[in-house]
Structure 1
Amino acid sequence: MTKRIRAKHKIDRRLTENIWGRPKSPLNKRQSRPGQHGERRVSKLSDFGQQLRAKQKLKGYYANLSERQFHRLYVESSRAKGSTSEHLIGLLERRLDAIVYRSKFVPTVFAARQFVSHGHVSVNGQRVTVPSYRVRIGDVIEVKEKSRQLPLVLEAIKSAERDIPDYLEVDQNKLTAKLSRVPALSDVPYPVTMEPNLVVEFYSR
């Protein structure tokens, strides 16, 4: 686990946005960047700065993906027909850890990555331990029976903080989920405004 994952609150403060919509985010109490100079006024961002910020925000949202992973998804999106930004969102949302998080099997996307890595999830009856595993339409994701009573899972199911998006068919009694369609940007319940078009501009410079 990297230091940046352990210090995920700093990601919120550095980006000056509560990107996961968490009630415990430090931005709910102090609207500033980390550090002794965090209260200083920030000058207006250049076009490049806005593009970089959009990339950092979207990459950070998905458990702070590595630059290599994120760039690889952009390259794949750019090769597909249609909107590159929409394809990028679709690929991000089809990650297994993202599906587990959206289905409210765990409370955070960071927990989802660890939950999958530790073997608590199966896809179509087969255990999968790769958080970046790409889920296909119709795949059935299920929490192992022995893992269903974990405090982490019970906490997430009872939480009223998030709603399950309509592109997932979720049974919270059996703890199963199915991807019914690839979502568009407008379908994804981001707590803050994401700008994948600026991410595309950043990489296509």
Structure 2
Amino acid sequence: MESQLDWLGEFGHVLSHDLKTPLSVIQGNLELAQELDDTDRLDDAVDAADRLEALVDDLANVMQQGDLVTEVEPVELGDVFRSWDAFETNPESLDVLDSKPILADEHALVRLADNLVKNTVEHAGDGTAMRVGTLADGFYYEDDGPGIPESERDDVFKPGFTTKEDGTGFGMVSIKQIALAHGWEVTIDESEAGGARFEFTGIAEPQ
């Protein structure tokens, strides 16, 4: 519980900063547009508003995860990763190598799967190979993308951390939060192809 409170405190600090930045840009450019009668300033304000909208959308997804992990029941892992119609991002190449039933909240697990796929597509492209398979006490997801440098792996799940210029840094936060809400552990490693590999462990199976 203490670690989750620390995490929420850090999340709130980063979120406050990230929301204030585009708000300041919007306010400043609107004021300049009025003073100088310069409509080009409105374009900058619109860009900042789009950034703010993306942050709010990602925030909503993150904060909803705690409420979503309420009905834990037997779920077939492979079925979740094959439910592409429920994803915001439709992967071109995702293989479920093996599957098993696990105890999870299905809706939250779909969001976790979607965020993993979205991360791959955003950083490596639509055609990047993705694989899902089982572990003794959980499952893994990996891709053939550029991977995550070892020096950055401790920072990936920190609120606001992103390597993309237009990224919000909350997709990975959502993955971490869903895992924590289930009582799972999540670690990052390197796939055999040099891409990213996420391992989720401490997962119970139906008796």
TM-score by length of 2: 0.29
Higher strand share goes to which structure?
2
Specify which structure has the bigger relative contact order, considering alpha-carbon pairs within 8 angstroms and separated by 6 or more residues: 1
Higher helix share goes to which structure?
2
Which structure is larger by alpha-carbon Rg, 1 or 2? 2
